[in-house]
């Protein structure tokens, strides 16, 4: 009996040891370390850099002449108006007053597409969230087709569509590296040769990363080709007002598609043009043939949103509504946006002026670009040298955020670019 008891205790101890051993083993030891995000990873490196000369030209967030985050005066006034708002849940589709103003800002306040309610607009988690909702909706309800994105494009576009379940994400020609211009003929050729009824993503304005947009005639030609091929158009509108300084001018591409009868999708961000980066305010609009279709589409997108995050944030939506629904604040906001666009344009001009003093490389393409970013033409090796030697942080494709420049650092950045390219 004693031997049996000892044997049982030994067995139990062995089992206990095995359980503890299993508990001490990681269930996730097979999970590989993900690569750092190419942009946010740069920001982390910049933050750890103790060199006083460091300059961050990687992240697309506007900074003032003082190099600090900028809160728009119109936004400050709007916050005063909504300071006593409650913190209840919003509907799944968002703040109704906000989505109406978002729709009007994109499509125009007098457009029949707004008045006839064949456009459904749903508040999203900024522009990225709008794209993710659009991708999920298209994956669920669109016939299986490839998604076409410009080459190059914002890197997250691939991840958004891939994680929504799309297996075929194909590039179409957009940028001619040899001439630093839009490859419009190549673009038309690729879109024409694409499978009919494909999904085509376009940047509404201030193309990221190149800063190059089609002109009005090219947008019209492109719209007609897309219609002829039966393609479904998804417009990514992250910089309305930042390209030209005029919010109306910057969405002429979208309104061209609308006039031509496209049942397009528009992903809209209020991060840049309202400076509401951390509030995550955006909207997804879907243009339908009629009101019943719009209601059905809204119901399905609402189900997708419910499963992702349930309800969007209220504070930023209230800010945007307070600005756009008030004539005085809306006018002030347009001045704010123009001021940010003008400062970026001035930094672009100053940079090229200083680079032109080097004499060995033509930098004039930077002046032909528009919006927050510039595609400098620096090679991967040159950008690596800019980071490692000069502490100037930029992405490996040579893209820089001009919002990170100011009158105190533009001389240093230009001088380092010239040294890196062997121009001085």
Catalytic residues: 154, 236, 272
Q: Please give the Cα distance from 251 to 249 (Å, whole number).
A: 6
What number of CA atoms fall less than 13 Å from residue 77's CA on the CB side? 15
Contact between 322 and 78 (Cβ < 8 Å): yes
Please name which of 162, 240, 156, 228 lies closest in space to residue 194, comparing C-alpha atoms: 228
Structure tokens at 29: 């030891």
Q: Please give the Cα distance from 203 to 266 (Å, whole number).
A: 10
- Residue 20 CB contacts under 8 Å (≥ 6 apart), including other chains: none
């Amino acid at each position: 009996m004693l031997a049996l008891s000892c044997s049982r205790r030994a067995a139990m101890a062995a089992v206990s040891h095995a359980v503890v051993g299993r508990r001490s083993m990681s269930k996730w030891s097979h999970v590989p370390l993900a690569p750092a995000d190419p942009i946010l990873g740069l920001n982390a490196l910049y933050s750890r850099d103790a060199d006083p000369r460091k300059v961050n030209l990687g992240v697309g967030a506007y900074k003032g002449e003082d190099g600090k985050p900028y809160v728009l005066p119109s936004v400050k006034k709007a916050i005063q108006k909504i300071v006593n708002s409650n913190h209840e849940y919003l509907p799944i589709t968002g703040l109704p007053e906000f989505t109406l103003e978002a729709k009007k800002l994109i499509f125009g306040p007098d457009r029949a597409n707004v008045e006839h309610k064949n456009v459904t607009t749903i508040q999203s988690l900024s522009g990225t969230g709008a794209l993710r909702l659009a991708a999920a909706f298209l994956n669920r309800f669109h016939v299986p087709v490839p998604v076409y994105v410009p080459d190059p494009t914002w890197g997250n576009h691939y991840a958004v569509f891939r994680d929504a379940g799309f297996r075929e994400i194909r590039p179409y020609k957009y940028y001619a590296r040899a001439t630093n211009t839009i490859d419009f003929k190549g673009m038309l050729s690729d879109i024409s040769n694409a499978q009919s009824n494909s999904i085509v993503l376009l940047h509404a304005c201030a193309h990221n990363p190149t800063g190059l947009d089609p002109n009005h005639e090219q947008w019209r030609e492109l719209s007609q080709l897309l219609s002829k091929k039966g393609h479904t158009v998804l417009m990514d509108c992250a910089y309305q007002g930042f390209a030209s300084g005029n919010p109306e001018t910057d969405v002429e591409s979208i309104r061209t598609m609308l006039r031509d009868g496209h049942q397009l999708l528009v992903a809209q961000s209020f991060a840049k043009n309202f400076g509401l980066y951390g509030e995550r305010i955006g909207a997804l609009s879907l243009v339908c043939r009629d009101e019943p279709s719009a209601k059905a589409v809204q119901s399905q997108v609402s189900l997708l949103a419910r499963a992702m995050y349930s309800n969007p944030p209220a504070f930023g939506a209230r800010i945007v509504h307070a600005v756009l629904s008030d004539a005085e604040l809306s006018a002030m906001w347009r001045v704010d946006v123009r001021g940010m666009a003008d400062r970026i344009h001035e930094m672009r001009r100053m940079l090229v002026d200083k680079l032109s003093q080097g004499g060995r490389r033509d930098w004039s393409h930077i002046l032909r670009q528009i919006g927050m970013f510039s595609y400098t033409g620096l090679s991967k090796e040159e950008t690596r040298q800019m980071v490692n030697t000069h502490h100037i942080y930029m992405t490996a494709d040579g893209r820089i955020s001009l919002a990170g420049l100011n009158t105190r650092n533009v001389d240093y950045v230009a001088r380092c670019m010239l040294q890196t390219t062997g121009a001085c």
